[in-house]
Amino acid sequence: MSATYVLPAWHRSALEWFELNAGRTFAKRPFDVGLPIKVTSAQKGIWKSALSPYAISVVQTPKGVYADLDVIELPDGTWRYFYHQQGQTARDLDDPGSIFANAALFKCMADKIPVGVVIPGKNGVGYEVLGLAFVEDHGNNGYFELVGPVSVGATGELVAAEALAAPAAALIGFPVGEFDPNATQDNRLKVIAEVRRRQGGARFRRALLQAYDSRCAMTRYDATPALEAAHVLPYRGPQTNHVANGLLLRADMHDLFDLGLIAVDTSAMRLLLADDLIGTQYEQYAGAALWVPREVEARPSVEALDKHREQSMVA
């Protein structure tokens, strides 16, 4: 891309809407949500405004004419989604860019501009906002490969250029571009992506932040960027991203919990420490109460905590 393209405020507001509403299900296709621009097309799957060369969103309808595939959720909380291009004749497949809606997605792919993704709700009821994604690839079978979640930066403009001027968008859990020791901006983006990966799956972490009032369950530490979504029992697929299998923990407490150096005595809901931590500054947490959410459904599973303790280094 020869020139820097700064997203106008209306486009940025639409992208932010998809990020803020990720995980929500609407009874009807979200369309006019009170922004200066609609966030999806009322009729078509790929929505591109005449005001921009980029697509804003893609929507999979429950009974669409295209064979869109199911979302693939990955262990690190990221996801891949294969969305069928507009048109499915041999000519369309040979030259998908000839259709303006497809061309808009190719433009997003070339310039790393995210798109919003909407899929059918559970059991085909309603529409779920999956979130934001980068268009990573287009195969010869007619599918665009979308990878997310993507986060729109809170500061600065979202800029599309060969060398980004500000860390405005980061792909959570995936490397951003090729490694170049001289490209300091790319390095910052890689750090952001790695921090987001450690923090846990986006939806899982959001649920725990809400359940625990954005405080560490062991220390009550409240610096949100340092809080991570910890699995009580190891990740074994999307079903283990249940809030009852989670604890919101400060990064260092998360590491110690995963290493089995900290466990929970569920008879009193108090912390137990391995001998390796006795005599260190962590000893202050021995016997400390584990803070649990007010909502019973959000509290950690006693059975899961007991199994974690059995596998830990705590006597």
The model's pLDDT over 262-307, given as tens digits with 9 standing for 90+, comes to 999 999 999 999 999 999 999 999 999 999 999 888 899 999 999 9
- The verdict on 157 and 223 lying in the same domain is no
- The verdict on 102 and 170 lying in the same domain is yes
Q: What is the domain range of residue 138? A: 5-199
What integer pLDDT is reported at residue 40 of this predicted model?
A: 93
- The verdict on 193 and 240 lying in the same domain is no
Q: Which residues contact 40 (CB under 8 A, 6 or more apart)?
A: 29, 30, 31, 47, 56, 57, 59, 116, 118
Domain-ending residue, one of 146, 168, 199: 199
Question: Contact, 144 vs 82, CB < 8 A?
Answer: yes
- The verdict on 241 and 148 lying in the same domain is no
Decide if 218 is inside a domain.
yes
Whole-structure pTM value:
0.49
What integer pLDDT is reported at residue 169 of this predicted model?
A: 34
Domain-ending residue, one of 199, 222, 244: 199
Bridge partners of 120, per DSSP, are 127
Burial 48-81 (b: 16+ CB within 10 A, else e): bbeebebbbbbbbbeeeebebeebebeeebbbbb
Q: Is 45 exposed, middle or buried (0-12, 13-18, 19+ CB in 10 A)?
A: buried
Structure tokens at 44: 């078509």
Domain-ending residue, one of 171, 199, 227: 199
- The verdict on 232 and 261 lying in the same domain is yes
φ/ψ (deg, to 5) at 212: -100, 15
Decide if 130 is inside a domain.
yes
What integer pLDDT is reported at residue 96 of this predicted model?
A: 65
Decide if 207 is inside a domain.
no
In the block, which residue shows the tokens 């999806």? 40
- The verdict on 229 and 186 lying in the same domain is no
Structure tokens at 255: 């590491």
Mean pLDDT per 10-residue run, the chain (315 residues)?
A: 63 90 89 89 88 92 65 80 77 65 91 91 84 84 86 46 30 39 44 44 79 95 90 74 90 93 96 95 96 91 94 87
Give dist(CA 186, CA 207) in Å, integer: 30
- The verdict on 179 and 266 lying in the same domain is no
Total domains, the chain: 2
Decide if 208 is inside a domain.
no
- The verdict on 181 and 290 lying in the same domain is no
What integer pLDDT is reported at residue 38 of this predicted model?
A: 93
Question: Contact, 40 vs 144, CB < 8 A?
Answer: no
Helix or strand or coil: residue 236? coil
- The verdict on 165 and 27 lying in the same domain is yes
What integer pLDDT is reported at residue 200 of this predicted model?
A: 46
- The verdict on 189 and 230 lying in the same domain is no
Model confidence pLDDT, tens digit, residues 220-257: 999 988 899 899 988 665 567 788 999 999 999 999 99
- The verdict on 49 and 136 lying in the same domain is yes
Decide if 209 is inside a domain.
no
Decide if 204 is inside a domain.
no
What integer pLDDT is reported at residue 215 of this predicted model?
A: 95
Question: Contact, 271 vs 288, CB < 8 A?
Answer: yes
Q: What is the CATH number of the domain that holds 116?
A: 2.30.280.10
Decide if 241 is inside a domain.
yes
Decide if 232 is inside a domain.
yes
- The verdict on 55 and 170 lying in the same domain is yes
DSSP states along 24-83? -EESS-----SSSS-SS-SS-SEEE-TT-SSEEEEE--TT-SS-PPPPEE-TTS-EEEEE
Mean pLDDT (the chain, rounded): 79
Q: Which residues contact 6 (CB under 8 A, 6 or more apart)?
A: 157, 158, 159
Cα–Cα separations (whole angstroms), residue 73 to 141, 145, 224: 21, 13, 24
Give dist(CA 19, CA 116) in Å, integer: 8
